[in-house]
Structure 1
Amino acid sequence: MVSKLMQTWDADSYAKEARFVSELGMPVLRLLAPKFHERILDVGCGDGYLAQQMILMGCEVVGVDSSRELVAAAKARGVDARVMNAEALTFESEFDAVFSNAALHWMVHLDKVMAGVFRALKAGGRFVVECGGKGNVKAIREGIEYAFGRRGLDGYALPKPWHFLDVPETKKLLEGAGFVVESIELFERPTPLPGDVGGWVSTFAKDFLASFDAENREDFVNDVIEHCKPKLMQADGTWVADYVRLRFSAEKPVMP
């Protein structure tokens, strides 16, 4: 029953179940404050929705993502999107800013990500990010672990696809890479979902679903839904995920 874990992305299902991710990224885009003619790197650009907004502001944007499917969707929006691992960025001192929304928590070796971003920025360039932070989707993760437990499996022992950092960890990583931290915060942001939590699991937790053959996946997702219902389903039947976000702005210093 258990197979290799693997998170994959489908552009159509992403647009249906995850559009809120990009739409709720507008506050961090305002923190970035893109300027006309700036060259900006979007790390983990997804289907290019936010990169497209920056292009409309007059910026020159390069988007990178590890998903070929999402890169294709970003290119269809007119984004210069490239398949690239964020832990192995190949740019050297060419961007005025680096932006990332809802992507860093998918990356394992964040020290390599930070080092690559630092190299990619011009002196004085800024690095602005929002991603999942410590405590993010706690109820959903508990639901997934419960569903594994019902099948005699230890969900706690399985590799986790997400790495939700707290403020001190993030500050240490940024400063270790050479950045000066301008602002950093961890905050709760209850997030309405377009459907029930099953759609979220099917979109963002495919590596867990890949642990089961097709006929058992629906039952697994239904167990997650039932476990999360008391905490996340509202009185009117809508669902609100227990999101916690980490948001920061940092700068590559100008050397004297």
Structure 2
Amino acid sequence: MLCAAQRTDDVVGLLALKTGERLLDIGCGNGYLSAQLANQGAEVVGFDINPERVLAARAWGLEVKRGNAEELYFHQEFDAVFSHNALHEMHQADQVASGAFMALKPGGRFVGEFPGRGHALLIRRALSGALERRSINLMGMERWYLPNAHEYQRVLERAGFHVSHISWFEQPMSAELSIGDWIRNNCGHYLQAVPMEMRIPFLEEVTEELVSDLLDGSGRWTVDATRLRFKAHRKA
């Protein structure tokens, strides 16, 4: 099972960043990975929609712009566009890809990795089942955009990209905390549908359902994660 650093090594290697290149990091979050890329000698511009994350990223000394990555406004400014663990939160995938294409100089590349089809499927099924048993409406619960490789390749090609690499793969990962806490941090919108006084028994029920599949003999929880990794080029 991979540690957090190992989970970024492969996609950063696929990016193959060169000293002096100008990079746009969309969905940069707290800026930790952006700062690592800047340390490789690139001129990094972070981009995120969340004001708290923007402030955190700026604390690394980065240039960070706040905005919606579904509405990118750059024109041939960057040698590369990068995104790690963020594109699954952007449902307007065609708009994101088109914006990334327009942001790139001719010959530039768009590289990224994010959860793909089937990500945390056992967890989401358990949550949905527990809601159904309480007669709670499931409308809008599936908030992630989770394509397979073929679907996302079509998105990139519609935007004008040539796709040189795309892969979907399973990557089970340690929750590094209880599964209840992982759900609170990553699937909180399911909990928001449950009345406050019912949330503890709700989580206990979901946890019990997941024990046989996701809890090992040493008491460590594993998330049934998947990843989609890609590299696409804007032709020169």
Q: Above 0.5 in TM-score?
A: yes
CA distance 1:22–1:100, change in 2 (3 Å): farther
Q: Which amino acid aligns with 2:117?
A: K
Give the TM-score, by structure 1 length.
Answer: 0.87
Give the CA deviation at 1:21. Answer: 6.0
Report the number of matched residues.
234
Give the CA deviation at 1:128. Answer: 0.5
- Please give the secondary structure, in 2, of the residue aligned with 1:25: helix
Q: Report if the CA contact (8 A) 1:105-1:163 is conserved.
A: yes
In the alignment, structure 2 segments of 5+ residues that lack a partner are none
Give the CA deviation at 1:22. Answer: 6.9
Counterpart-to-counterpart distance in 2, 1:72 and 1:103 = 17
Match of 1:69 among 49, 52, 62: 52
76-85 or 31-40, which moves further after superposition?
76-85
Counterpart-to-counterpart distance in 2, 1:204 and 1:83 = 22
CA distance 1:233–1:212, change in 2 (3 Å): same
Q: Percent identity?
A: 40
- Please give the secondary structure, in 1, of the residue aligned with 2:147: coil
Q: Which amino acid aligns with 2:21?
A: E
Counterpart-to-counterpart distance in 1, 2:203 and 2:25 = 32
Matching residue of 2:162: 180
Matching residue of 1:30: 13
Counterpart-to-counterpart distance in 2, 1:144 and 1:95 = 41
Give the TM-score, by structure 2 length.
Answer: 0.94
193-202 or 146-155, which moves further after superposition?
146-155
Structure 2 residue 117 is the aligned partner of structure 1 residue 146? no
Give the CA deviation at 1:27. Answer: 1.6
Counterpart-to-counterpart distance in 2, 1:36 and 1:223 = 51
Give the CA deviation at 1:229. Answer: 1.5
Structure 2 residue 25 is the aligned partner of structure 1 residue 42? yes
Counterpart-to-counterpart distance in 2, 1:143 and 1:26 = 32
In the alignment, structure 1 segments of 5+ residues that lack a partner are 1-19
User: Which of 1 and 2 has higher RCO (CA within 8 Å, sep 6+)?
Assistant: 1
Give the CA deviation at 1:146. Answer: 1.9
* CA RMSD across the alignment: 1.6
Counterpart-to-counterpart distance in 1, 2:43 and 2:101 = 19
Give the CA deviation at 1:224. Answer: 2.2
